[in-house]
């Protein structure tokens, strides 16, 4: 390699490492439609609701499945569909108003709508033939300090198909949820041409929207499941196109398996995999060893709540303690369970734990560990369901499972190759 070639390769590797952060975004929800993989059926369902006056949307599902990212691309998707429809309908809808805010525990109904309306300005009627300057929504409609349902309804009726998104709606007080239910019922009854979209962490609509049965016909219920393997693979394919780099087939499969349907981890491991390849001056191919290295790095970059939860669960003053090993076996059992809610039986832990410890085990070997993982002293990382003779378990935070896999590689509890074997289902 010539003297000039090495610095050029190093410079190109540094550029690739920097560019990777613009494509893989584990810390921030995706905002660019071109980089948002999958969820096309959900986006279509939302877009269909937007063009039906009186119909609104609730997007719900477990933590980490990409609800906020979906909400972020609703606007670009609707505008694209509107532009396509313009040629057919002869209407100008591409300027449809789409506004978003994020709820928190201190919010009120009035406060949320004031934040949404603060994003919208209006042009008053011309005076003496002269155009007037834009004014705030509050000034244009002479709104009171505390907004009531009818105040909001009156403004929404003038937005001409406006879309108003409230993310993290599960964080809002229950009283706010009740008022939104009444608002949506009113908007639906009067067929007001606007769409309210509520987004939040929940297993059921009833846990997110108060008295949802009374507005069931007025709401399109979009449950976001974990992403399918081919959807996670699409994230990597999009990155390949943007970065002009390829993922080795085994490397891509491993990233998808470790991610467990959660796009956050596909982005986190994908980012670190590309940077590992760049560090060894490979500018065209990400290999499986890069993914193993990425898992080690990703452990140090995971969200603090996840790392603290994991640390609490496995902490022990005894070096021979098996908490880390049993927790990894539980994560593998959960990954293989096939249960839509993530439950696994104790018997499903036996084989992975035997592979990890490389010796025979029985349920009695780890039964106390399962019990403790459900207790506060170990962070209640698991929750238990059923009767004593037939308990089943699942992880309270689904984001913890991929982290456990990455920690297993980093701590040497399971080699990268062993993790590949166990995640691929080549053991039974």
CATH number at residue 328: 1.10.10
What does the alpha-carbon distance between residue 57 and residue 187 come to, in Å, rounded to a whole number? 13
Instruction: Tell me how far CA of residue 60 lies from CA of 67, 166, 170, 392, in angstroms.
Output: 7, 12, 9, 24
Instruction: Tell me how far CA of residue 200 lies from CA of 3, 32, 208, 375, in angstroms.
Output: 55, 21, 7, 27
- With respect to residue 2, please indicate whether it lies within any of the assigned structural domains: no
Q: Are residues 289 and 333 in the same domain?
A: no
- CA 258 to chain CA centroid, Å, is 16
Question: Do residues 369 and 338 make contact, with C-beta atoms less than 8 angstroms apart?
Answer: no
| Statement: residue 4 has pLDDT above 80 | no
- With respect to residue 251, please indicate whether it lies within any of the assigned structural domains: yes
User: 3-state DSSP call for residue 286?
Assistant: strand
Label residue 206 by pLDDT band (50, 70, 90): confident
What does the alpha-carbon distance between residue 332 and residue 19 come to, in Å, rounded to a whole number? 33
Domain boundary among 223, 244, 266: 223
Q: Are residues 290 and 352 in the same domain?
A: no
Q: Are residues 326 and 402 in the same domain?
A: yes
- With respect to residue 20, please indicate whether it lies within any of the assigned structural domains: no
Q: Considering only 141-145, 203-207, 269-273, 283-287, which range has the smallest mean pLDDT?
A: 203-207
- With respect to residue 123, please indicate whether it lies within any of the assigned structural domains: yes
Domain boundary among 223, 249, 266: 223
Q: What is the pLDDT of residues 366-391, one digit of tens each?
A: 999 999 999 999 999 999 988 888 89
Question: Do residues 270 and 24 make contact, with C-beta atoms less than 8 angstroms apart?
Answer: yes
Q: What is the pLDDT of residue 428?
A: 46
Q: Where are the beta strands (DSSP E) in 138-178?
A: 162-167
Q: What is the pLDDT of residues 216-273, one digit of tens each?
A: 888 888 888 888 888 889 889 999 999 999 999 989 988 888 887 888 889 989 999 9
Q: Which residues pair with 393 in a beta bridge?
A: 344, 384
Q: Are residues 371 and 384 in the same domain?
A: yes
Going by DSSP bridges, is the β-strand pair 121-122/285-286 parallel, antiparallel, or unpaired? unpaired
Q: At CA 249, angle to CA 248 and CA 253, rounded to 5?
A: 115
Q: Are residues 251 and 375 in the same domain?
A: no
Q: Are residues 281 and 366 in the same domain?
A: no
Q: Are residues 261 and 398 in the same domain?
A: no
User: 3-state DSSP call for residue 96?
Assistant: coil
Per-residue b or e along 83-102, where b marks 16 or more CB atoms closer than 10 Å to that residue's CB: eeeeeeeeeebeebebbbbb
Identify the CA nearest to 410 among candidates 324, 338, 334, 329: 324
Q: Are residues 205 and 136 in the same domain?
A: yes
Q: What is the pLDDT of residue 338?
A: 73
CATH number at residue 189: 3.40.50.300
CATH number at residue 235: 1.10.8.60
Question: Do residues 157 and 193 make contact, with C-beta atoms less than 8 angstroms apart?
Answer: yes
Q: What is the pLDDT of residue 254?
A: 87
| Statement: residue 87 has pLDDT above 50 | no
Q: What is the pLDDT of residue 325?
A: 95
| Statement: residue 94 has pLDDT above 80 | no
Q: How many residues appear in the chain?
A: 428
Q: Which residues pair with 117 in a beta bridge?
A: none
- With respect to residue 7, please indicate whether it lies within any of the assigned structural domains: no
Q: What is the pLDDT of residue 212?
A: 64
Half-sphere exposure of 278 (CA within 13 A, CB side): 23
Label residue 151 by pLDDT band (50, 70, 90): very high
- With respect to residue 29, please indicate whether it lies within any of the assigned structural domains: no
Q: How many helices and strands, by DSSP H and E, does the chain display? A: 19, 11
Q: Which residues pair with 58 in a beta bridge?
A: 198, 221
Q: Considering only 36-45, 334-343, 410-419, which range has the smallest mean pLDDT?
A: 36-45
Q: Are residues 195 and 235 in the same domain?
A: no
What does the pLDDT average to over 296-315? 87
% of the chain with per-residue pLDDT over 70: 88
What does the alpha-carbon distance between residue 55 and residue 197 come to, in Å, rounded to a whole number? 10
Q: Are residues 215 and 235 in the same domain?
A: no
Label residue 80 by pLDDT band (50, 70, 90): low
Tell me the residue range of the domain where 243 lies.
228-301
* Contacts with 15 (C-beta within 8 Å, 6 or more apart), sequence order: none
| Statement: residue 90 has pLDDT above 90 | no
Domain boundary among 273, 301, 329: 301
Burial class (CB in 10 A: 0-12, 13-18, 19+), 311: exposed
Question: Do residues 16 and 283 make contact, with C-beta atoms less than 8 angstroms apart?
Answer: yes
Burial class (CB in 10 A: 0-12, 13-18, 19+), 384: middle
Instruction: Please state the domain count of the chain.
Output: 3
Check residue 268 and report its DSSP letter: H
Q: Are residues 79 and 105 in the same domain?
A: yes
- With respect to residue 31, please indicate whether it lies within any of the assigned structural domains: no
Supply φ then ψ for residue 394, to 5 degrees.
Answer: -155, 160
Query: Which segments of 260-359 does DSSP mark as H helices, in order?
Result: 263-279, 288-301, 304-314, 323-336, 347-357
Tracing tokens 């993989």 back to the chain, one arrives at 37
Q: Which residues pair with 247 in a beta bridge?
A: 286
What does the alpha-carbon distance between residue 269 and residue 249 come to, in Å, rounded to a whole number? 15
Supply φ then ψ for residue 5, to 5 degrees.
Answer: -65, -40
- With respect to residue 342, please indicate whether it lies within any of the assigned structural domains: yes
Q: Are residues 235 and 217 in the same domain?
A: no
């Amino acid at each position: 390699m010539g003297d000039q070639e090495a610095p050029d390769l190093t410079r190109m590797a540094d550029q690739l490492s920097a560019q990777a952060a613009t494509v893989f975004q584990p810390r921030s929800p995706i905002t660019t439609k071109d980089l948002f993989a999958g969820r096309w059926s959900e986006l279509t369902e939302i877009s269909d609701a937007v063009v039906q006056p009186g119909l609104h949307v609730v997007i719900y599902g477990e933590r980490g499945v990409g609800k906020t990212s979906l909400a972020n691309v609703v606007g670009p998707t609707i505008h694209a569909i509107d532009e396509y429809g313009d040629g057919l309908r002869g209407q100008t809808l591409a300027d449809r108003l789409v506004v978003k805010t994020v709820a928190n525990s201190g919010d009120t109904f009035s406060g949320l709508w004031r934040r949404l309306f603060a994003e919208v300005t209006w042009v008053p009627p011309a005076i003496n033939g002269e155009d007037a300057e834009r004014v705030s929504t509050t000034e244009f409609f002479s709104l009171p300090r505390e907004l009531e349902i009818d105040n909001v309804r009156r403004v929404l009726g003038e937005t001409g198909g406006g879309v108003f998104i409230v993310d993290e709606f599960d964080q809002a007080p229950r009283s706010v949820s009740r008022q939104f239910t009444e608002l949506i019922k009113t908007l639906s009854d009067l067929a007001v041409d606007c769409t309210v979209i509520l987004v939040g962490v929940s297993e059921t609509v009833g846990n997110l929207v108060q008295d949802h049965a009374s507005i069931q016909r007025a709401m399109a219920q979009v449950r976001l499941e974990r992403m399918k393997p081919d959807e996670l693979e699409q994230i990597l394919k999009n990155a390949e196109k943007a970065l002009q780099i390829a993922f080795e087939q085994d490397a891509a499969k491993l990233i998808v398996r470790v991610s467990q349907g959660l796009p956050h981890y596909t982005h986190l491991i994908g980012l670190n995999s590309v940077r590992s390849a760049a560090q060894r001056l490979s500018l065209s191919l990400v290999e499986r060893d890069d993914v193993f290295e990425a898992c080690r790095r990703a452990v140090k970059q995971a969200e603090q709540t996840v790392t603290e939860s994991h640390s609490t669960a496995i902490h022990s003053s005894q070096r021979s303690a098996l908490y880390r090993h049993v927790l990894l076996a539980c994560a593998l059992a959960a990954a293989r369970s096939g249960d839509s809610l993530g439950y696994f039986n104790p018997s499903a832990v036996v084989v992975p734990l035997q592979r990890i410890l490389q010796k025979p085990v029985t349920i009695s070997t780890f039964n106390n560990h399962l019990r403790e993982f459900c207790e506060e002293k170990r962070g209640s990382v698991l929750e238990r369901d059923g009767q004593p003779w037939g308990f089943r378990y699942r992880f309270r935070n689904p984001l913890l499972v991929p982290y456990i896999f990455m920690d297993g590689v980093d701590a040497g509890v399971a080699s990268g190759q062993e993790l590949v074997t166990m995640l691929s289902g080549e053991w039974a």
